[in-house]
Structure 1
Amino acid sequence: MAKQFEDNFHRKFYYLRLSVTDVCNFKCTYCLPNGYHPEEKKRPAFMSLDEIHRVTAAFAECGTSKVRITGGEPTLRRDFTDIVRTVAEQPGISKVAMTTNGYRMAKQVAGWREAGLTHINVSVDSLDPRLFHQITGENMFGQVMAGIDAAFEAGYEQVKVNTVLLKDLNSQQLPQFLEWIKHRPIQLRFIELMQTGEMDSLFANHHVSGVSIRNHLIANGWVLKIKANNDGPAQVFCHPDYQGEIGLIMPYEKDFCKSCNRLRVSAMGKLHLCLFGDHGVDLRDLLQQDEQREDLIARIQGGLQEKAVSHFLEQGNTGMTPHLASIGG
């Protein structure tokens, strides 16, 4: 095995977020409020199945054990199930996760599980169908809920649900969410709204910290769980009276980046060292042949030497990221 990917701050990278498309069919207020609009200028196609195989193999060789397939909405790719199978077949990859808006889950989740998908994250920003429609731009609450049920029927022991915290919209719905997970093995993850290049006014109007939720949980007997080395950034709390769990992702908190263990590759084959970085490292030319793997690993490792100690979000830096769909959130 090649040397473990590591940066200048001795952070090791066990977790790859692999975007396979930036196209999405939802119009979430915090991501693509005007819907997906392809760039007018001609650009390369998204990575092929062979390219996905090669980049995943390189990461696996260097210690990555978890791959999350993201978008846009990854299931818009017709070969999504083949992508899952390709990633799952890599030696060393023990977790194959996805993040989805859930609209295709009810019909297809059993096939994804059979192909090797081990973990699912579904975005559900409200349990009120009308507010869900308002936030996502789509009237698909019923389909998404049916998809979560189908995931359990297909054999998943837990489903993670992502909820972007939005002041004056869903931030007061904690009691409903807690009731929802009391008898369901759902890890509900509240994600603080993050400021991106196109979302300044939304951030100013709707950002709210997750600290008040954390304080409420601790005061009511919830206990912080210990993380595995390939877990994401959520602080996860459990309670003996609840089948479900609560996760908090608070990127504005001090030392959030200290435990960073993940890298991103965009659907165009570009390595992004941080969701809010100022540039990417192009890998596409080294994804054309299996024989290029050594050079590919060397380029990734070289890029890691440029990874900053922090995202500097608290200083108002939003990097080059125009919106979260552009490099997979």
Structure 2
Amino acid sequence: MKASRLFRQPLLHFLLLGALLHLAQAWVPPPTEPIRVSAADIERLRQDWRRDTGRAPDAAQLQASYRRWLEDEALLREALRLGLDQRDPVAQRRLLMNLRFAYPESKLDDAALLREAEALEMRQSDLVARRRLIQAMEQRLLAEAAPSEGELRDYVAAHPERYGAPERYSFEQVFLDARRPPGEAQRQLAALRAGAAPGGDAFLLGAQFRALTQEEIARQLGRPLAAAVAAAAPGEWTGPVASPYGLHLLRLQAREAGAAPDFAAVRRQAAYALLAERQARQLAEARARLLQRYRIDAESGIEPVAS
């Protein structure tokens, strides 16, 4: 049979259509029940805010509380859809404890009690089980947003002072009290450059600083002074540079080269640090994306949640 005649066969059309429908069911997410919002839900959020803070929420605070509640609802539904409640021992123990307390004479086994909890919608109503499942879903979202190998390498390279051996600086300084007359710092600087002996005012931390990193200098004397030391040419007096204490004239004596980070050795440490820095933003974005999968069915008069 020729190909042109084959593609005109009704049976083949039927089989191709069935295959396409099967693929569509595999790729398109199943329809979801809308998240229904009543005036009683909004009032409960208002009362929860008042209980927690001692005052009534303003419009923006109530809107933020409403949005977080909607996101939590979406997270809970997604956790149940994925069967996380069937795999989380903490949530299961909580539900079993509640049912055995409510029905102390029951002879049902754990599996039957968990089915009863599902029928009673305890997974949604019990605050502890609900919070546990929401947290489990949040952890799943964060796991999906783990940094890539390239992002980790960029992060380590951007923080050599944390993961490598940073440059170290030895320098001396002449301190001038801020109450000195205007122009005194420039006169002192000219004298030092002409070979005069260092003078200046007494300084609690002394005049000599040995083998400090830029971060260590910043902690002691401020970031502007640390940056000036790092940029200075060895052996030359420079300044004045202001600090919280007054004015400083600086001379870099030695710069010790740092060592590049060993990525393999610091990879795990960097992954934890980067995830900790990004997880609040990433989790907020992931929660928002998940909520977009659900339709919000709010009673008349309830303002739509801000996007």
Q: Normalised by the size of structure 1, how large is the TM-score?
A: 0.19
The structure with the larger Rg is: 2
Is the helix fraction higher in 1 or 2? Answer: 2
Q: Comparing both structures, which one devotes a greater share of its residues to strand?
A: 1
Higher relative contact order (Cα pairs below 8 Å, separated by 6+ residues): 2
